[in-house]
């Protein structure tokens, strides 16, 4: 349904060109939840927003392709994109506190989207807004449709955002860290909400997150991004059982486990994310990688399929044997697995 090939996004800044997304390829099937994980600055949000044309600016240049249905998103005209935003692809943003207009009633914000795409009366659109609010679990929807964002809690606001995203029955929903700004208890509710969407319809979801716990809960496939590139991509179970890339190991090791036999020290990743102004010519993770060869920082590794799992890719120069050995050493050291 969505096919992204070699997507490149770079921004001209005063200090030079920043390659925020550097050759990203992936695809999303109908009804699939794809999780995109990575640290801040890994290019995951830029990738997602670029699909909707939200990163367009005079300072941005784009490369590669993104086929969605019959449309090529990267070169689409503003008007083409406008028609796609809402009825085809909808977006849920990270911070529900600021993503809703503070001076417009939440019902009106939903009505506004419906009426931007369909010829329906205000009353009919309002009625649909009420239904949507009810569907995403807003109590007393007929009353709260007239409320303002500040009158609702964070979790309620995020539900409104989900209702807004659903209002024109999109085929793809991009959720950019939808739970990051919320309390842990609310996070679970919102995730359950997203999962039930998928169960009700065959909507696909791209879930951007830095939380591997979230990934293991809801995702079908996972994309691990680092420094604007995809370093590993796989079905979720496979990734958790058999992670291939040293960066993925490090990510997994930094997640607290409640089912571990003995408490262990959480691992942190030494160093800081690469500057995308002057990234190393080779693997972007190489400066922080404990297992790098000299050549790692000079020659970028290619995406390699795993023999045992053909839907599992990673970009690393280590051989399969080395990975197996080094991974167990890594996990041993921090006392996981």
Partner 1 sequence: MFAISVFTFFIFQVIPNGDPALRLAGQSATPQTIAAIIKTWGFDKPVYVQYLDTMEKIFTGTVVSYSQQVNVLSQIQRGLPATISLALGAGVIWLFWGIVLGASSAVRAGRFTDRLLGVVALVGVSTPTFVVGAVSLYFFAYRVHIFPLSGYVPFFQDPWEWFMHLVLPWFSLSVVYIGFYSRVLRSNMLDALHEDFVRTARAKGLTQRRIWLNHVLRTSLIPVISLWGLDFAAVIGGGAILVEVVFNLDGVGEYAAESIMTLDIPPILVIVMYGAFLVVLVAALVDILYVVLDPRVRLNG
Residue 56 Cβ vs partner 1, minimum distance, rounded to whole Å: 10
C-alpha dist (Å) from residue 217 to 47, 148, 187, 266: 23, 32, 12, 20
Told to check if 129 binds partner 1 by CB under 8 A, we report no
Site for partner 1 in 136-195 (CB under 8 A): 148, 150-151, 161, 164, 168
CB-based contact 306:314 (threshold 8 Å):
yes
Binding residue for partner 1 (CB under 8 A) from 28, 34, 52, 267?
A: 52
Q: What is the DSSP-derived secondary structure letter of residue 61?
A: E
Query: What secondary structure does DSSP assign to 138-152, as a single string?
Result: -SSHHHHTT--GGGS
Told to check if 325 binds partner 1 by CB under 8 A, we report no
The Cβ of residue 187 has, within 10 Å, a number of other Cβ atoms equal to 20
Told to check if 95 binds partner 1 by CB under 8 A, we report yes
Binding residue for partner 1 (CB under 8 A) from 12, 82, 311, 333?
A: 82
Q: Which stretch binds partner 1 (CB under 8 A): 17-25, 93-101, 275-283, 321-329?
A: 93-101
The Cβ of residue 165 has, within 10 Å, a number of other Cβ atoms equal to 26
Residue with tokens 């995109």: 36
Residue whose CB is less far from partner 1, 55 or 248: 55
Q: How many helices (H) and strands (E) does the chain have?
A: 12, 12
Told to check if 59 binds partner 1 by CB under 8 A, we report no
Told to check if 12 binds partner 1 by CB under 8 A, we report no
Residue 148 Cβ vs partner 1, minimum distance, rounded to whole Å: 4
Told to check if 102 binds partner 1 by CB under 8 A, we report yes
Total residues in contact with partner 1, by rule CB under 8 A: 32
Binding residue for partner 1 (CB under 8 A) from 91, 208, 236, 318?
A: 91
Between helices 184-200 and 154-166, what is the axis angle to 10°?
Answer: 20
Told to check if 93 binds partner 1 by CB under 8 A, we report yes
221-226, strands of its sheet edge to edge: 89-92, 172-176, 204-209, 33-37, 221-226, 229-235, 313-314, 304-305
Binding residue for partner 1 (CB under 8 A) from 13, 61, 104, 153?
A: 104
Binding residue for partner 1 (CB under 8 A) from 9, 66, 90, 224?
A: 90
End-to-end CA distance of the chain, in Å? 37
β-pairing verdict for 33-37 and 16-28: unpaired
Query: Which residues of the shown chain bind partner 1 in the complex (CB under 8 A)?
Result: 52, 54, 78, 81-87, 90-91, 93, 95, 98-104, 109, 112-113, 116-117, 148, 150-151, 161, 164, 168
């Amino acid at each position: 349904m969505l096919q992204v090939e070699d997507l490149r996004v770079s921004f001209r800044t005063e200090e030079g060109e920043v390659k925020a997304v550097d050759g990203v390829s992936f695809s999303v099937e109908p009804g699939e939840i794809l999780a995109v994980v990575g640290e801040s600055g890994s290019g995951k949000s830029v990738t997602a927003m670029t699909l909707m044309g939200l990163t367009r600016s005079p300072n941005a240049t784009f490369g590669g392709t993104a086929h969605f249905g019959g449309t090529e998103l990267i070169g689409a005209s503003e008007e083409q994109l406008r028609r796609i935003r809402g009825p085809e692809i909808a977006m849920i943003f990270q911070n529900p506190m600021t993503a809703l207009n503070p001076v417009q009633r939440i019902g009106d914000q939903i009505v506004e989207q419906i009426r931007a795409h369909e010829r329906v009366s205000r009353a009919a659109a309002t009625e649909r807004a009420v239904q949507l609010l009810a569907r995403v679990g807003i109590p007393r929807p007929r009353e709260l449709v007239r409320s303002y964002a500040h009158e609702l809690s964070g979790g309620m606001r995020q539900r409104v955002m989900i209702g807004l995203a659903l209002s024109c029955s999109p085929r793809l929903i991009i959720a950019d860290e939808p739970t990051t700004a919320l309390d842990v208890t609310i996070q679970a509710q919102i995730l359950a909400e997203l999962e039930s969407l998928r169960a009700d319809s065959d909507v696909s979801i791209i879930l951007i997150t830095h939380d591997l716990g979230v990934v293991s809960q809801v995702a079908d496939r996972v994309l691990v991004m680092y420094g604007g590139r995809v370093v590993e991509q796989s079905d979720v179970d496979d990734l958790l059982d058999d992670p291939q890339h040293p960066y993925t190991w490090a990510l997994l090791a930094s997640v607290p486990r409640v089912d571990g036999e003995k408490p262990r020290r959480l691992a942190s990743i030494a160093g800081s994310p690469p500057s995308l102004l002057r990234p190393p010519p080779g693997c972007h993770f190489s400066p922080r990688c404990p297992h790098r060869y000299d050549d790692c920082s000079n020659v970028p590794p290619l995406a390699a399929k795993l023999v045992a799992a053909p839907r599992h890719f990673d970009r690393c120069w280590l051989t399969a044997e080395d990975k197996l050995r080094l991974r167990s050493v890594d996990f041993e050291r921090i006392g996981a697995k």
